[in-house]
């Protein structure tokens, strides 16, 4: 599932390839991705507008259009958004595309079709995203901010990190990696984390996400490579049974709130 780093890379690539694209027509071969909005209304509202800027909040992509409208795109589990020079050669997973004035198209692909595309007046975006927590790469996200959020939560710290109402954009992979880097047991209750642990966790979240943004950006900018690549050296995620890179004990996998968590019982306390 695309998490903050991959979504950021998608935004950067789109800014590079079609920063001010004028959209002439819109196609929704899979109208369900617009629900509860009507794909016909959406197509009518988007055509004729130009991209003014491309923004991201957590895992949400915000494409601000001329005339004070904003396209709100969530990539779901398998979504991707990129510019193609000839839409006739689109893959079967094409769920929407936007014809642009110069003959190219911005294509939205999504094999599992769990992503969403909506349009809102730009002035309504804050209200639509009011449930989204703090942006972890924003300077306002400090160890003190993390401590204040963690102290309100009785959940295990892994579940706390996945809860988008607290911190936006962290998913299963980078939560596991940040906890490993901070040497914190994912089962610890958030409100009980000591100050030194919270400092380590804050530093680990920022470091893991920054590095992942850089490697995702490199991977997504390669010509002809659209996601799905293994680009980030994962230390613990998906390594069940393998020796820990830090202490050599076998990595363990547990299930927390229906999600798997890999961690090292030797060095995550
Ligand atoms: Zn270890």
pLDDT of residue 223: 74
SS3 201: helix
CA of 256 to the centre of ligand 1 (A): 20
Number of other CB atoms surrounding residue 59 within 10 Å: 23
244 CA from centroid of ligand 1 (Å):
5
Tokens at 120, concatenated: 């809102």
Contact 122, 68 (CB under 8 A): yes
- Total length of the chain: 269
- Look at residue 229 in the predicted model and tell me its pLDDT: 46
Please state the pTM of the whole predicted model.
Answer: 0.95
Active-site residue 3, yes or no? yes
Active site residue 195: no
Residue 2: active-site member: yes
* Average pLDDT of the segment spanning 205-234: 81
Catalytic position from the list 49, 59, 95, 183: 59
The question of whether 259 is a catalytic residue gets the answer yes
The two tokens of residue 174 are: 């980078």
pLDDT in the model for residue 224: 66
Q: How far is the CA of 243 from the centre of ligand 1 (A)?
A: 8
C-alpha of residue 183 to centroid of ligand 1, in Å:
8
- The CA distance from 235 to 212, in Å, is 12
Q: What is the pLDDT of residues 71-117, one digit of tens each?
A: 999 999 999 999 999 999 999 999 999 999 999 999 999 999 999 99
What pLDDT, on a 0 to 100 scale, did the predictor assign at position 230? Answer: 53
Going along 101-251, which residue ranges are E strands? 105-109, 116-121
* DSSP percent split of the chain into helix, strand, coil, nearest 5: 35, 25, 40
Q: What is the pLDDT of residues 31-72, one digit of tens each?
A: 999 999 999 999 999 999 999 999 999 999 999 999 999 999
């Amino acid at each position: 599932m695309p998490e903050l780093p991959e979504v950021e890379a998608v935004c950067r690539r789109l800014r590079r390839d079609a920063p001010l694209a004028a959209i002439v027509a819109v196609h929704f071969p899979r109208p369900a991705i617009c629900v509860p909005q009507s794909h016909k209304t959406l197509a009518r509202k988007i055509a004729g507008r130009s991209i003014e800027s491309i923004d991201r909040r957590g895992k949400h992509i915000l494409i601000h259009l001329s005339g004070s409208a904003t396209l709100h795109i969530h990539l779901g589990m398998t979504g991707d958004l990129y510019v193609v020079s000839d839409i006739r050669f689109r893959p079967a997973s094409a769920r929407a595309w936007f014809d642009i004035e110069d003959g190219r198209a911005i294509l939205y692909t999504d094999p599992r079709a769990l992503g969403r595309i909506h349009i809102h007046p730009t002035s309504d975006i804050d209200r639509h995203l009011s449930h989204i927590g703090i942006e972890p790469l924003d300077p306002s996200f400090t160890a003190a901010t993390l401590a204040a959020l963690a102290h309100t939560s009785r959940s295990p710290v892994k579940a706390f990190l996945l809860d988008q109402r607290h911190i936006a954009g962290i998913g299963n992979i980078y939560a596991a990696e940040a906890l490993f880097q901070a040497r914190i047991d994912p089962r610890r209750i958030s409100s009980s984390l000591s100050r030194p642990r919270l400092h380590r966790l804050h530093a680990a979240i920022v470091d893991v996400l920054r590095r992942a943004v850089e490697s995702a950006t490199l991977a997504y900018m390669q010509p002809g490579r659209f996601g799905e690549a293994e680009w980030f050296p994962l230390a613990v995620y998906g390594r069940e049974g393998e020796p820990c890179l830090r202490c050599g004990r076998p990595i363990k996998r547990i299930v927390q709130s229906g999600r798997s968590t890999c961690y090292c019982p030797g060095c995550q306390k």
